[in-house]
Amino acid sequence: MAKYDYIIVGAGSAGCVLANRLSENGKYTVALLEAGGADINPWIHIPVGYIKTMAMPGVNWLFDSEPEPYTYNRPIPIPRGKGLGGSSSINAMVYVRGQPDDYNGWSQMGNRGWSYDDVLPYFKKSENFELGSNEFRGIDGPLNVTTTRQTYPFMDDLIQGAVQIGYEKTKDYNAESQEGFNYFQVTQKNGLRFSAARAYLNPAKKRSNLQIIKHAHATKIIIDGKIAKGIKYLVNNNEKSIFAQKEVILSAGSIQSPQILELSGIGNPILLKKYGIEVKYPLLGVGENYQDHYIARLVWRASQKRTLNEELRGLGLVKQALKFAFLRRGALCVTAGLVAGFVKSDESVSTPDIQYHIAPASFADPKKRKLDKWPGLTIGPCQLRPHSRGSVHIGSKDSMANPIIKPNFLSSEMDRHVLIKGMKIARNLVKAPALKDWIDREELPGPETESDDDLLDYARRTGATLYHPTGTCKMGHDDKAVVGDNLIVHGTENLRVIDASIMPKLVSGNTNAATIMIAEKGAELILKK
């Protein structure tokens, strides 16, 4: 019978951090279960490969949302990483911490130890920021963070244009002030993706007290009374069990951590009984409080052929491949957005509530990631702090079946209002003097789309997730909370959830940085127990 001190389910961003930190003192044995395989696919490591990995079987769970009325009953792809590194191995590598008010808000909700001052040391502990340390940034951590290696005159002029119409050129959106425009910071090193697996797991792999079990699909938690004892999992359709002498830790992410809890009998009793699952502990909030960023992308045709659309096609692609092979520079280092913008929808808003992902590129077929044949610009706004709430729940007791994902995008009037404002601000940005020689015409939604209703119609027809599902095992102390501020599942012993699902509210930005911070703090909570 296999026994370890700690069992971690999921080798994503959080799981890799935990595997490293819990095993580094050599005192404890740690088992890390991952349903996917090794991170050996070359498209994982080439930054522009995210275009492929976002829709690639084998490295992606390829979930879809349920059709919902506010997004015209379209199933919306919900990519989630499968394999070592999890979503940090397939994402756009964008590093955004969010705003201090995000974490102060968590603290004000009764979650002690989660204010911005509380979590900042863990952000600093996690990162090696190539531009140097200061009171906000760290240089001794495992995770390499840098500015994008590739810049474009088009993007330089766009940032200048933002300044011309009244916005700031932010120095470091992860430091004193998020507001303004500048190039994204990314988790890359020497032009290659620097996933949580590269940062945290690779240095720990050879430790004798760490066992990494790949292709291990967790099916349920072994629970005796209220005590988590271990995990049942499948390998090649053979069921196995593994036991924890100290704790079981779910780090399977906002889709699958609640799924595993429900399959194990922890969740809403009505739902569990519906599928014939014995109720181990009733927790009404499991799978609820689903939050994600919804983006609507506007596209312009550029006047000059100096965009990714040309560089990643034909002879241009050959040149860029050689540039990447020899210099680790060029278009193959580019992520989903080159320039970030954080702005307020209204002066009454205290901090930015709109984020832009901006790239000198456009897709003729977004689903197939096929680039347009003409030079393009894409500006995608999202509502940073959405009011819409959705859910994720099991649809059967079959652990291999996909859960039912209902994001409920745009169900909030405020979300619709802010997104429309974001689209209008984008249109105003391209009219800046610095862009007069760059912009030919608006392609999507097109200049004939003028009214708020028409803009909303476009957003509902074409919008998509920004791949930031959170909140489905929320931290708190109300009747819908799943974990306490110590990340222990309410009503249980020796069972924690440590991943993005514990966020009570979605942070104001991309979520990978915050997830790694949560795991760093979670590891310390465990070791200080």
Q: How many Å apart are CA 339 and CA 11, to the nearest integer?
A: 30
Token representation of residue 355: 């984020």
Buried b (16+ CB within 10 A) or exposed e, 367-393: eeeebbeebbbbbbbbbbbbebebbbb
Nearest Cα residue to 494 out of 282, 295, 246: 246
Buried b (16+ CB within 10 A) or exposed e, 487-522: bbbbebebbbbbbbbbbbbbbbbbbbbbbbbbbbbb
pLDDT in the model for residue 184:
97
Beta-strand pair 339-343/180-183: antiparallel
Which phi and psi angles does 245 have, rounded to 5°? Answer: -85, -20
- For the chain, the domains span 3-527
Buried b (16+ CB within 10 A) or exposed e, 268-279: beebbeeeebee
Buried b (16+ CB within 10 A) or exposed e, 28-42: bbbbbbbbbeebebe
3-state secondary structure of 280: coil
What is the Cα 264 distance to its own chain's centre? 26
Q: Other CB atoms closer than 10 Å to residue 251's CB: what's the count?
A: 32
Nearest Cα residue to 385 out of 459, 518, 291: 291
Catalytic residues, which ones? 468
CATH code given to domain 3-527:
3.50.50.60
Q: Other CB atoms closer than 10 Å to residue 440's CB: what's the count?
A: 14
pLDDT in the model for residue 366:
73
Burial of 206 (C-beta count, 10 Å sphere; 0-12/13-18/19+)? exposed
Rg (CA), the chain: 22
Q: Please report, as a single letter, which amino acid is at residue 304.
A: Q
At CA 380, angle to CA 86 and CA 328, rounded to 5? 55
pLDDT in the model for residue 427:
98
CA dist 420 to 30, 343, 373, 413, 493, Å? 48, 13, 28, 11, 46
The pLDDT averaged over each successive group of 10 residues in the chain (529 residues) is 95 98 98 98 96 94 98 97 98 97 98 98 98 97 95 97 98 97 98 98 98 98 97 96 98 98 98 97 98 98 93 92 94 93 96 98 81 96 98 97 98 98 98 97 97 98 97 97 98 98 98 98 95
At CA 292, angle to CA 255 and CA 295, rounded to 5? 130
Longest dimension (CA), the chain: 70
3-state secondary structure of 64: strand
Token representation of residue 260: 């595993």
Q: How many Å apart are CA 115 and CA 119, to the nearest integer?
A: 6
Nearest Cα residue to 295 out of 89, 516, 509: 509
3-state secondary structure of 127: strand
Token representation of residue 279: 């109720």
Q: Please report, as a single letter, which amino acid is at residue 202.
A: N
Burial of 484 (C-beta count, 10 Å sphere; 0-12/13-18/19+)? middle
Query: For residue 291, what are the contacts with CB-CB under 8 A and spacing of at least 6?
Result: 386, 388, 389, 390, 468, 469, 470, 471, 503, 505, 506
pLDDT in the model for residue 174:
98
pTM assigned to the model: 0.98
Query: Could you give the angle at which helices 153-164 and 413-429 cross, rounded to 10 degrees?
Result: 110
| Number of helices (H), then strands (E), in the chain | 14, 28
Place of tokens 């940032």: 159
Query: Does a cis peptide bond (omega within 30 degrees of 0) precede residue 445?
Result: yes
How many residues would you count in the chain?
529
Q: How many Å apart are CA 277 and CA 265, to the nearest integer?
A: 6
pLDDT in the model for residue 359:
96
pLDDT in the model for residue 365:
76
> What distance, in Å, lies between the first and last C-alpha atoms of the chain?
26
Token representation of residue 45: 């490591």
Token representation of residue 314: 């034909």
Q: Please report, as a single letter, which amino acid is at residue 371.
A: L
pLDDT in the model for residue 148:
92
Which phi and psi angles does 322 have, rounded to 5°? Answer: -65, -40
